[in-house]
Each structure stands twice: as structure tokens, then as C-alpha cells.
Amino acid sequence: MKVFEEPAPAEGPSLALHGGAGGRVEELTLAGRAPYAEGLRAAFSAGWQVLAAGGSALDAVCASVEVLENDPLFNAGRGAALTATGHAELDASVMTGAGLAGAVAASRHARNPVWLARAVMEHTEHALIIDPDAAFLERHGLEVVDGDYFITEPRRQQLERVMDDGAVATRHGTVGAVARDAAGRVAAATSTGGMVGQADGRVGDSPIVGAGVYARDNVVAISGTGHGEAFIRGVVAYDIAARIRYTGADLATAVRETVEQELGQRGYSGGVIAVGGDGRIVVAHNSPAMFSARGTGPEPTLTT
């Protein structure tokens, strides 16, 4: 397992984001790591600008995830993984440290599912909505796109490879962000296209509070990526928070123990990003690779 840490800042905000754990999409690797690094930097910059201007952790994580959803290199929004029938069904969630949460599963119409998840949180009495129609998005001022918008040729090729020979190395991936703002509030957001070749209607951990996302002020904000079913069964995000809140574990220990016990010992791979209530950042994964950016200033530390 690889674990990376950034100490708590003396003052000011913290931000971390991930672009998925696993491997790169084979058809997109010819250009090397540079395009992924550029995408991570752009997403970090979008979130950091919010935080540097005194904005909220929630606004920051949504801004970062929006950029990743718009980048076809990552498995969220445009360029998302496709189901067995060649469709894009998108999941996303947001959660604030104050305990508010919103999520969407099997979204087919929202250009940016992260903003749809936020609309569920802020404008409905619900926490999770499945497959909302275009009219729902329009009522809340969200951009509607045709299903073809999400589909890219590299993802079509990836689906064919998976369905033909059962390739699994790059089947899952997710994007997400966690932040602590200058006021000490934390928030998390997660977004994904799911697992390549998944059954239509399959829902992973990304829209499940406590599994792929969790936040509590003065404790931690978490976003996960990896084998979604394992994150759900192990309630991974909440398990990390519970270790900190109830046993007094430090952030790195809580992350390391949960990933090892709920993923590693069960034969699954994945990773998490976490920002503590004090602004400390931990990024950890037991997968071969994990795209991430983290920092307490405008220039992030990248892992690709």
C-alpha cells in the first residue's frame, strides 16, 4: 500500500482530489502521463481558486470535480465508462461536514452529475435520486445533454476489449475531491461512470454516503475510488471517520487500517483521499496506480 501525507497547514485551506485508482485506459496511454497531470492541475486550480478567495469547501470540491467530469481522460462525465450495452450511467454525490448530503445514481442527462447531486441536496428533501429525467434538471437550472455527449471512441474500444476478452485492469475508476476551507468546514464530492461493462442499472459506492463519500466537520472528509462493491460492503468512508471519531486514531492510521482490512484483506483494490479536521491530507491506495493532486497552497503535489 502507498500512503502520502501532507501536514496540517499553520493556517488556511487544504485540498485533495483524485482521478481514479487502477490503471490508465489503454487507448489513452500513448501520450504518457502529461495529459493526466494537466487535467489534475486544472481541477486542483479550479478548487484552489475558490478556497483562496474565501469560498466554501463545498464550492471548492464541486469546482474541482466539474473540471474532471469535463475531461474525457477520466471516468466521470464525458469519457465515462460504458455499461455492457454501451450506455453511460453516471453516479455522483456531495456531502458537507455539517451532515448534509445529496446523490444521484444512473444519471443519463446531466452534463455535470456533481451539480445534480448538489441540487438534490440543496433543493429537495431527498438524499439520493435514481435516473432523474431531463425535466428535473431543467427545473433546477442544470445543463442537459444527449447521451452521446458522454461517449468517446476510446471508451467504446475499452468496452469492446472488456466484453471480448474479459480484461479487467482498467475497468473501474472514479473522480473526487475533499477540502477544508479557511473557516474550518470540510466537504467531499465523488463522481463516476462506474465499471466498464457493468450491467445496466448497477450502482457502485460513489453515490452511497458512508461508502464512497463522507464528511464531518472537525473529523474528516473522504472520497474513495476502486472496487465499488467492496467500498459498499466495508462502508469504507464511514469506517475511516469512525476510527478517528471514536478511537482517536490519527488520519493516516485510520486510512491505512481501513484500506488494508476492508480492501486488501478481501482481495480488492482501491484508494482514498482524506482531509482531516485540522487540514492534514492523506492519500492512500493499494492499486497499481492512482491519479491524485493534493496541497495546502496553489501548487499541488501530483501522483500519476
Point out the residues that are catalytic. Answer: 174
Q: Which among 3, 18, 216 has a CA at the least distance from the CA of 100?
A: 216
Q: What is the 3-state secondary structure (H, E, C) of the chain?
A: CEEEEECCCCCCCEEEEEEEEECCCHHHCCCCCHHHHHHHHHHHHHHHHHHHCCCCHHHHHHHHHHHHHHCCCCCCCCCCCCCCCCCCCEEEEEEECCCCEEEEEEECCECCHHHHHHHHHHHCCCCEEECCCHHHHHHCCCCECCHHHHCCHHHHHHHHHHHHHCCCCCCCCCEEEEEECCCCCEEEEEEECCCCCCCCCCCCCCCCECCCEEEECCCEEEEEEECHHHHHHCCHHHHHHHHHHHHCCCHHHHHHHHHHHHHHHHCCCEEEEEEECCCCEEEEECCCEEEEEEECCCCCEEEC
